[in-house]
Chain A
Amino acid sequence: MSLYHLQKFLYELNRDETAQQKYRNDLETLLDDFDLSDEESNALREGDIGLLYVLGVNGQILMHYAAFLEIEWFAYLELMREGIAKHGPVRAGVYAMTGGGESFTVEGKKR
């Protein structure tokens, strides 16, 4: 289990412009600095929001990362739902999905 390191990677990325440059230009070197499983590294290579959510990345950290990847708001919520459909419930932390996967906004329901 290296959820701590996975979250630390995203924490550094979210707040540090140098890390953001590195993410875009030299991702492999950046990944080397963190003790990650193959599943975690791949999720970061692919920007796999759904899997990162299921792995237990804190929602606030993941939300900033999704914004960094320029994922539109409702698409971001949908990616988390798809992650659960594909990989099962959130495995750690306090950001589990507690609703039935539906949208809680009129704006979202129309999508």
Chain B
Amino acid sequence: MSLVYAGVLSHAPGITGRAHLVENTAKRDEFYAALDKQRREIQDSGAEALIVIAAEHFANFFMNNMPAYCIGIGSQYEGPIEDPDWLKISRTKVPGAADLATRLTREVMKTVDVAYAEEWKFDHGIMVPLHFLTPEYDLPIIPVNINCQGPPLTPLHRAWAFGKALRRACDSVPEKIAVVGTGGISHWPATPDSGKINEKWDREFLDRLMRNDKDALLSYDDIQTYRDAGQGGFEIRTFIAIAAASGGDGELQFYTAELPIFAVGCTVARFSLDRTA
């Protein structure tokens, strides 16, 4: 059929791993409720597979051979690679969608060069979203990675082009597909500044994202982003790809900068799907 759901959510490891340390438990639970609503929306969409556009953190790809974009075409995956006690997510097997992912990859390749991988170990960037969105791990997953860690990084307009290509691919197959982008907005994870959040920058970015304002979204540059939003801000590429794929307006369902122990402004949003995207 086509794309039936598009959304974004945060993936920081603290969201599960440091849940027990949170003082503002009311806000934490509000966030978890928003994630659970997202789970139901995906379920209600009838999606037969979930594409997760993630920004991984050296679980599979390293500077010896770094793809700007990669699609997982394996039949099964495993995660998390991190210590399960640290992430508070048990190590598990996750079903892939080998045939569908291969057809999508072939279609994407008509306009955008992309790598593919039959092996993929999930890190927190995918496991945290799955923990909330498909807690039984019974929905076939197609992992996608955009390199947001090891510069040189793909330019934002290419992340947009990739999102467009993925949408065309989804609309070319009979299956119903959901897609989520996971990343952070401003944040300084895995530094002593962990917990620092530039809420003003986040809200400006989210405003552009919800309006799906292509020019405004693509006007960020990495030097400014690094200064104002930290290296974690490079992950806006995943959100931008979702905006391009949806072609519709966003609805910000949850945002807070009041859970710095999670080291990110916690975000949940969905997009309407423009049929002409």
Contacts and interface: CB of A to CB of B under 8 A. Distances in A.
A73 B58 contact: no
B260 A105 contact: yes
A84 B121 CA distance: 32
Interface stretch (B59-67, B103-111, B163-171, B210-218): B59-67
A84 B192 contact: yes
Contact of B60 (A15, A77, A96): A15
A62 B63 contact: no
B21 A67 contact: no
Interface stretch (B81-89, B173-181, B201-209, B237-245): B81-89
B196 A95 contact: no
Contact of A80 (B62, B191, B195): B191
A1 interface: no
A61 B60 CA distance: 12
Contacts of B63: 4, 7-8
Interface string A40-64: 0000000000000000001111111
Nearest to B197: A104
Interface string A71-82: 001000100110
Given A70-B83, A94-B226, A105-B261, A81 B192 contact: yes
A105 B195 contact: yes
Residue from B17, B149, B197 having most chain A Cβ neighbours under 10 A: B149
A11 B261 contact: no
Contacts of A27: none
A108 B38 CA distance: 30
Contacts of B22: 107
B265 interface: no
Contacts, number: 99
Contacts of A60: 57-58, 149, 189-190
A36 to B, nearest CB: 16
B81 A97 contact: no
B230 interface: yes
B23 A107 contact: yes
Interface in B60-110: 60, 62-64, 81-83, 86-87
A59 B190 contact: yes
Contact of B192 (A4, A8, A67, A97): A97
A68 interface: yes
Nearest to A90: B191
A38 to B, nearest CB: 23
Interface of B: 13, 17-18, 21-23, 57-60, 62-64, 81-83, 86-87, 121, 123, 149-151, 188-197, 226, 230-231, 260-261
Interface of A: 4, 7-8, 11, 14-15, 58-64, 67-68, 70, 73, 77, 80-81, 84, 94-99, 101, 103-108
12 contacts: A7-B63, A8-B64, A11-B62, A14-B81, A14-B82, A15-B59, A15-B81, A59-B191, A63-B13, A64-B82, A94-B231, A105-B194
Closest 9 pairs (CB-CB, A-B): A59-B190, A104-B195, A60-B57, A67-B86, A105-B195, A94-B231, A99-B193, A63-B190, A104-B196
